[in-house]
Amino acid sequence: MALPIPDEFPLEASRPTPSVLGLVPYFVAGGFFGFLAIRSEIASWYRIYEMFRFESFHMYGIIGSAVLTGALCLRLLRRWGLEIRPSEPGRYRYLLGGVVFGLGWGLVGACPGPIYALLGSGVAGAGVVFLGALLGTYAYGWLQRRLPH
């Protein structure tokens, strides 16, 4: 029996189920993100391809300034005791899983956020990518115990 893999959603520590009304702020926040993903062109296959060819600063500027902003805000929030949940321990899962994710990212030029944004904007192919991502997620759930973490 393999050691249990640490999970981000442990059953015993489950939080209460939110009300539908409580979900509205998240829907609105998502709306802003989706709008932003299209307008900033991070949802563009072309921008991702350009990034991996190192021929434009656009994506690097976005990721860099997003991390900087996030880090500064987290620094401030730490004073009020707010901190984001740490990642689970492990090494192989991050590198190997990361590479597998990157292979897909480089081919279909969309990570999960942009997949949803493109779905909403009516890009036919995004539906197939979404279906593939669901299948991939399911396949991971099936193979999890046999993969190094």
Partner 1 sequence: MEALKQPWPWYLAGPLIGLFVPLLLVLGNRRFGISSSLRHLCAAMGSRLPFFRYNWRAEAWNLAFVLGIAAGGFAAGVLLPHPGPLELSPQTAAALRQMGLSPEGGLVPQELFSWQAVLSWKGFVFLLLGGFLVGFGARWAGGCTSGHAISGLSAFQPPSLLATLGFFLGGLLAAHLILPWALQALR
Residues 68-107 that bind partner 1 (CB under 8 A): 68-71, 73-74, 76-77, 82-91, 93-107
Report 8-37 residues binding partner 1 (CB under 8 A).
8-11, 14-18, 22-37
Nearest to 129 by CA among 141, 117, 140: 117
Question: Given the complex with partner 1, which of 3 and 136 has the nearer CB atom?
Answer: 136
25/16 Cα distance (integer angstroms): 17
CB 87 within 8 A of CB 79: no
**What are the distances in angstroms from CA 91 to CA 21, 58, 94, 95, 120?**
39, 30, 6, 7, 35
Least Cβ distance, residue 1 to partner 1 (angstroms): 13
Size of the site for partner 1 (CB under 8 A): 123
Report 118-147 residues binding partner 1 (CB under 8 A).
118-142, 144, 147
Based on its alpha-carbon atoms, the radius of gyration of the chain, rounded to whole angstroms, reads 18
Q: Does 3 bind partner 1 (CB under 8 A)?
A: no
Least Cβ distance, residue 85 to partner 1 (angstroms): 5
Question: Given the complex with partner 1, which of 3 and 134 has the nearer CB atom?
Answer: 134
CB 108 within 8 A of CB 129: yes
The DSSP H or E segment spanning 111 is none
Report 35-64 residues binding partner 1 (CB under 8 A).
35-53, 55-59, 61-64
